[in-house]
Structure 1
Amino acid sequence: MKFVPTAVSGAFVVEVEARSDDRGMFARTFDAQTFAAQGLVPVYPQCNVSQNHKRGTLRGIHYQAEPRPEIKLVRATRGRVFDVAVDLRPDSPSYLKWASVELDAISHNAFYIPAGCAHGFLTLEDDCELFYQMSETYVPELARGVRWDDPAFSIAWPFTPSIINERDAALESYSQETNL
């Protein structure tokens, strides 16, 4: 595996090193010792799947607040998405910056998103599925979110989403005081 730094401090694109032959392909997508050696969290007590039927579906931008912020390792198991992490850590050198990666089922890459960062994605084609490994279990009262089009971040989405659920569409703009 190769860990490629992004514009968000502590966020990495995780690229697999595939080996192919006449049978097909094999690649290691996760190894706890390799992640620990990189200084990344090697244990994920919760895993989630997000299935999305239509191109243009936006989910996010979500995070879990203190005292149980989540680290996420996200990968596309079907389809292709524009995946985004936004740094909401006031003491971070990349505070309010964002990083994106195109995740797809063919390259088997993943996005490691550190605690204190919010996450969202936009589907680039129909029939997408994402698999999340989470460092914390979900705590509903700590769930938070910010607007996908918040001018505080100025995320360069590839196109305007066509499907956003009511909850995500109603999220407010970021404010350090109200989003902790």
Structure 2
Amino acid sequence: MTTLQSLDIEGCYIFNPEIHSDERGLFVKHLEQSILRDLELDISSMYLCTATNLEKGTLRGLHFQESPFEETKIVRCSQGECFDVLVDFRPKSDTYLKWVGINLKSESFSSIIVSPGIAHGYITLTDNCVLEYFICGEFNQDAQKGIRWNDPAVSVNWPLLPTVVSSRDAQFPLLNLEVQ
């Protein structure tokens, strides 16, 4: 049975699809129109991206897009396993700067639904980990921002230290909460 479970950050969910199995293998519907409609997602601008990660310990994030170019992301691990992290970066939210982390495994076929204004990142727990992103919204290079993965203002409890981080992600500035 398909389930949609709310996470501890408003507007973010974990989607667990129904898995049909028989002697041929598996059949899984990764997105359901009724759920997308209930969540009021504009799928007219949806596109698919794939991120491949060669090594265990590869960290990507924490990324978000500033208004008015915010995106909704539906993220699933299609190969391997990762620790997926969401950080609420909406200043007026009751959960501002709160984070949640979820293990995503390819075998579960689960997806995370990430609302606009939420920073997203992950660390791979296996070699050759692949993530797929269904993104609603239009990418804008100038609106792309990030939170440093080890920012003490957020204090994400990563399950392991990263061994691979891009220079861009490693150089995101630390949050200055006195200004905000």
Bin of the TM-score, shorter chain as denominator length: over 0.9
Q: TM-score, normalised by structure 2?
A: 0.93
Q: What is the SS of the residue equivalent to 1:106?
A: helix
Write the distance in 1 (CA, Å) between the matches of 2:40 and 2:82: 23
User: In the comparison of the two structures, how many residue pairs are matched?
Assistant: 178
Partner of 2:132: 131
| Residue of structure 2 equivalent to 1:155 | 156
Q: Is the 8 A contact 1:80 1:104 kept in 2?
A: yes
Task: Identify the residue that residue 49 of structure 2 maps to in structure 1.
Answer: 48
What TM-score results when the alignment is normalised by the length of structure 1?
A: 0.93
- How big is each residue's C-alpha offset from its partner over 1:84-137, in whole Å with a ceiling of 9 and x where there is no partner? 110011111211101111112111100100000000000000001111011112
Secondary structure of 2:108 counterpart: coil
Aligned-pair identity (%): 33
Give the whole-Å Cα distance in 2 for the aligned partners of 1:168 and 1:34.
Answer: 32
Equivalent residue number for residue 13 of structure 1: 14
Give ranges in structure 2 of 5+ residues lacking alignment: none
Distance 1:104 1:178, change over 3 A: farther
1:177 Cα deviation after fit:
8.9
Question: How far apart, in 1, do the equivalents of 2:156 and 2:99 lie?
Answer: 7
Gaps of 5+ in 1: none
How has the CA–CA distance of structure 1 residues 79 and 57 changed in structure 2, closer, same or farther, with 3 Å as cutoff?
Answer: same
Query: Is 1:24 equivalent to 2:25 in the alignment?
Result: yes
Instruction: Report the Cα offset of residue 176 of structure 1.
Output: 6.5
Instruction: Give the CA deviation at 1:165.
Output: 1.1
Shift of 1:149: 0.7
AA matched with 1:128: C
Root-mean-square deviation over aligned CA pairs: 1.7
SS in 1 for 2:119: strand
Matched AA of 2:139: Y
How far apart are the structure 2 equivalents of 1:146 and 1:154? Answer: 11
Q: Please state how far the C-alpha of 1:40 moved relative to its aligned partner.
A: 4.3
